[in-house]
Structure 1
Amino acid sequence: MNTPLPPWPYPRWIAHRGAGKLAPENTLAAFRLGAQHGYRMFECDAKLSSDGVLFLLHDATLERTTDGQGLAGALPMGALAQLDAGRWHSRAFAGEPIPTLQALARYCLANGHHLNVEIKPTPGQEEATGRAVAELLARIWPAAAVPPLLTSFKPEALAAAQATAPELPRGLLVDRLADASPNDGAGAAGAADVQTALRLGCRAMVLNHALWDAALVARVHGSGMRCLSYTVNDEWAAERLVQLGTDGIITDRVDLFSPA
């Protein structure tokens, strides 16, 4: 028996890390640029500093997107805030700092934007990061506003977020489907992942876009969850996902896809 799909208040198009590759990812400059392209929902990556402040960064280490070195989560926010997170991208963004999650949340609230926060913990900090993200957003996000969507590849992080602020919607990120059990039968791809998402009280599953097919979309929708995809940068892939009836598309190509 299928579970009815609850209302889904989010737009289909979601800007990846702010503006994809047009600006230094996970900086406020990127989110402003994404907004200039008409996007009203943004994905970001959040992790904890050594002194317990949530900041935006994808990688565990600093080298790729800043002028710093080493494990990002090993530094206090004061040191992280001094790093240049823009020059690696282009001279136009030199001096752009690493923002806090609170700063991005305030920006989104002030402008009526929606937010998808990927809980991206430093290894070993899964539960602590999940708790911290949920606590912060539950505290500062108005009850009357559309809540942020919390996602993670780490079930432990989602479980901690669920325990801390169960009212905030969650989504399980999946890059590779778990192997089906012999008892699941034919066409059971994704069954184990669906069960994990349901156990975590998720409202959505966010998959590598190539994993979706009609059967899996039907399975997820039939379980009462929405189907989102990352990272979709080609028109043929976007068209396929629309035809499959999926609900959200995360893209770098804010210059190619109109979110209208």
Structure 2
Amino acid sequence: MRLPLPRWIAHRGGGSLAPENTLAGIRLAARLGFAAVEFDVMLSADGTPLLMHDETLERTTNGQGHVSATSDAVLFRLDAGGGERVPGYAEAVALCRQYDLLANVEIKPAAGFERETAEAVARQSVKLWQDARVPPLISSFSLEALEIARDLAPQIPRGVLFEQVPDDWLAVLLRLQAVTLHCAAEGLTDAVLAEARANEIPVLCYTVNSETSAGALFRRGVSAVFTDRLDLFAPETSAYKGLHLGG
């Protein structure tokens, strides 16, 4: 299997040009020519996977309270910005498949819901992405979530997320049978990049919003970046270059 890995990945759907983690953002990224989008998946009180970054609703919706304590009936009526609804994971997958987008699905469990979230996302992913031309890439900061994804959806590639890459990062990736390393652009060392290159592991950096920063990272050997600046890095107006993961 080969997983297409474009250099530019639209962060939280449409970056800064659309309400985050919405179908409108995914549509916008596709319209601008992006081949990949990233979004976050959390569980409702009813156990339904949906697109949401924060554990609480206030920043990104007109709702209040904790996502994990709010029912589907309430969540799916909320305004996530510009009249957009909070989308279910299944809706986002259908849209990505429609546009042949690579989806970086970040499992974003609310505190205490790591296992339930990972199990729901992994099981749904197997069904929703079955026979997809472009498979997804599941990632998470939660190593427990990635262990569960490995066991329940071994056929779906995984990426490990770190803010600061630890010394034993390669051992962690090997244990989780992950194929990509994701980390904050700040603090990424040449030693980590050299070790990743020696082991043919692509490094993906977040969140890169300037051409200068992106260019420097690519010259150092970073494979892809997550960006909010879709206006700067739309493929038709940037030095877009498609890359591929081996395998």
Normalization by structure 1: what TM-score? 0.87
The yes-or-no answer on 1:214 pairing with 2:190 is yes
- Which letter does structure 1 place at the counterpart of 2:85? P
**1:189-223 Cα shifts (integer Å, max 9, x gaps):** xx312221221111001010123233211212323
Cα distance between partner residues in 2 of 1:245 and 1:20:
24
Q: 1:253 aligns with which of 221, 224, 229?
A: 229
Q: Quick one: structure 1 residues 217 and 8, their matched pair in 2 at CA, closer, same or farther if it must change by over 3 Å? A: farther
The yes-or-no answer on 1:155 pairing with 2:143 is yes
The yes-or-no answer on 1:125 pairing with 2:113 is yes
Aligned-residue Cα RMSD (Å) equals 1.5
Q: Quick one: structure 1 residues 175 and 145, their matched pair in 2 at CA, closer, same or farther if it must change by over 3 Å? A: same
Q: 1:46 aligns with which of 41, 45, 49?
A: 41
The yes-or-no answer on 1:69 pairing with 2:72 is no
Question: Which residues in structure 2 correspond to 1:155-234 (within 5 Å)?
Answer: 155-178=143-166, 191-234=167-210
* C-alpha contact (below 8 Å) 2:101/2:134 kept by paired residues: no
Alpha-carbon offset, residue 144 of structure 1: 5.1
The yes-or-no answer on 1:244 pairing with 2:220 is yes
Q: Quick one: structure 1 residues 148 and 8, their matched pair in 2 at CA, closer, same or farther if it must change by over 3 Å? A: closer
Q: In structure 2, list runs of 5 or more residues that go unmatched.
A: 241-247
Equivalent residue for 1:35? 30
Aligned residues: 236
Equivalent residue for 1:235? 211
* C-alpha contact (below 8 Å) 2:3/2:135 kept by paired residues: no
Q: 2:131 aligns with which of 127, 140, 143?
A: 143
Alpha-carbon offset, residue 31 of structure 1: 1.2
Equivalent residue for 1:184? none
Cα distance between partner residues in 2 of 1:213 and 1:243:
13
Equivalent residue for 2:245? none
Cα distance between partner residues in 2 of 1:226 and 1:7:
13
RCO comparison, higher one (Cα < 8 Å, 6+): 2
* C-alpha contact (below 8 Å) 1:128/1:160 kept by paired residues: no
* C-alpha contact (below 8 Å) 1:232/1:249 kept by paired residues: yes
Cα distance between partner residues in 1 of 2:187 and 2:178:
18
| Secondary structure in 2 matching 1:173 | strand
Cα distance between partner residues in 2 of 1:206 and 1:19:
19
Equivalent residue for 1:104? 92
Equivalent residue for 2:18? 23
